[in-house]
Structure 1
Amino acid sequence: MHKHKEETWALVDLVRKIVKDHQAPLETRMLRGEKLTRADFEPGCEAARMAGLWGLNLPPELGGVRLSMVDRLAITEENSKCLAPIRFGGEVLHAMLNLQGEQKARYLDPLLSGVKRYCFALTEPGGGSDPARAVLTHAKRDGGSWLINGSKTWISLFEDADGVLVFARTSKEKGANAISMFAVERGNPGLVARPVPMLGGFSTHQLTFDNCRVDDLAFIGAEGDGFKGAQQELSRVRFESGAMALGIAQRCYDMMVQHAKQRIVFEGPLSEKQAVQSMIVDSWIEIQQHRLTLYACAEKHDAGQDTRVEAGMVKMTCTEMVGRVIDRAIQIHGAAGCTYESPLAHWYDQLRLSRIYDGPTEVHKYRVLARSLLA
């Protein structure tokens, strides 16, 4: 980790202990073929809460600890080394932090306490890489309420959510400034959800809004500010995607080193073979390079600098890197790395998606980075 403070190391040690006590047994169950439920993750979440790890992005006045980006990424990196990581509670979209009165009581307070969870619905069938242009879902006033019509796709975390934060156009303008955010409760008769199975055992959902009626309290934030709120969330998620990839890469590296030392082939340990040594060294170098970059960018963020471009770069390079490391780890393990009794096979499936969601590699490279550098 890059110039970590003692406090950061203490946080990492704390997360490592919770993972060992609560999450590692869940990983074992997953490797036996069991399907885990939301309830299975509650003990680990509660242990984190009791340890003070609650509302990691929230200010103290709302019951959170508002960790720096460096600290959050260090926690994410350590947590991601387990196939069944801790699901931290008290996560709240930045745009919801200023809710007051009845809106605060209905939406923010249940989120802060962990009673409710909401997922995030921006992507539509017409395109996920250019969301502002592709948003066709619209909402219009109807008396004292709003009617939402449209469709969202590839929506993750819906299966465990109590509601969904949906982004819809509230005017006829074509730009991002016409997009607003609404909270729609699960069970609303105008919301129909269809599960879409994905690689790695994930289940995303396609959501259809058919005259989905919500009241004025469900309108979150100012009109036209919805996409701005979404962009704030995406930058944070992209940093954390990089840290998650780094944590998984480190675990895969540790596994390949251990296996190479123990596996005997042609009258000697696998670790003595030059091809294996090359794969291990290449993986170590890549992990160290990306760790230095990740935390240097996080420090820029904590210093108040605009790091939207860096967030895209970190997400792009780390998710590409972890794919290479996992592939080497499977190659070194041979057939043992290809079974779902090993976390390697699970991550091989899961991490393929990481190069697509929250912005595909090509979009970050040629749309975000190139446009920024050549402006």
Structure 2
Amino acid sequence: MPVRAPWRGSAPAGRIAWLAVAVVVLVLACAVSLAVGARGLSLATVWQALTQFDPADGDHAVIHARIPRTVMGLLAGGALGMAGAAMQGVTRNPLADPGIIGVNAGAALAVVTGIYLFGVSSLSGYIWFAFGGAAAAAVVVYLIASMGRDGATPVKLALAGAALSAGLYSLMNVILVSSQDTLDRFRFWQVGGIAGRDWSVILPGLPFLAAGALIVLCTGRILNSLALGDDLARGLGQRVGLSRSVTALGIVLLCGSATALAGPIAFVGLVIPHAVRLLTGPDYRWILPFSLVLAPALLLVSDVIGRVVLLPGEVPAGIMTALVGAPVFVWLVRRGKGAGL
């Protein structure tokens, strides 16, 4: 697929300009997230509530109640966007997302096990089971793919992830069909969303998200080398196995934390890196920060649409990201001008 990116020859100036535009878009998405809902408020009221909070003002109270939801969208969206971009680089698979290395399946089985065996019923309880399950599944996938002479190649990672996911989902379904109570509790987490999360859910995930983001943001050059193929990367002095392991650790921290906090959210980590390549080309030193900014914007906009499309009810963000992201992804594929991996 031909590589086509605007301003490729103009140093980083054009990309910096686009990144500034992306930051503005994200700020607007945050403002709309605070203003829009069952009770619509003006942006002026949002600004006043943030700068001159009055506890006796009902509008201000509503806006402050929406802040954790918006922060959750920022954290989960940024984590999924960066993890999706890094995952596509590590596996050299343009369709890679958190499901390809068993993260979603591992987290889901762990949450179901926590509900069924230990009676966990709160989101703050789900997070630890989900993160542990996601991390364990990713480690198992990598160990399986590492067997053999060539180590953890992209094809072996994809095959091991698909096989393990199928097995874990089968075990999960065995538990769910045998326990209606477990199914009733689990289905609210399974659809994915950022509603109903408070600071008690968000704060435990911050250290993992910060560590994962720091690792992945520092792997731009590594991913650029891996994109050339393992042999060329070794010729450039890259220790392929170690580089892939370090990047995979960052991906697991980001995916595991985001999935634990918000549930399995589809398409964010798949669509955003493809859209970003239209602006940056194949350089992961730019793809990663752009994904960090634009992915939460997509998640927040999807969440806002879900709040108003079926008033007085809501459609979870995990469903809306699929509805919003799928047509965009199809358009990107049919356009056929995205940068290759």
The question of a shared fold, defined as TM-score above 0.5 by the shorter chain, is answered with: no
Structure scoring higher RCO (CA < 8 A, sep ≥ 6) equals 2
- Structure ranking higher in helix proportion: 2
Q: TM-score, normalised by structure 2?
A: 0.29
**Larger % of strand: which?**
1
**TM-score, normalized by length of structure 1?**
0.27
Larger-Rg structure: 1
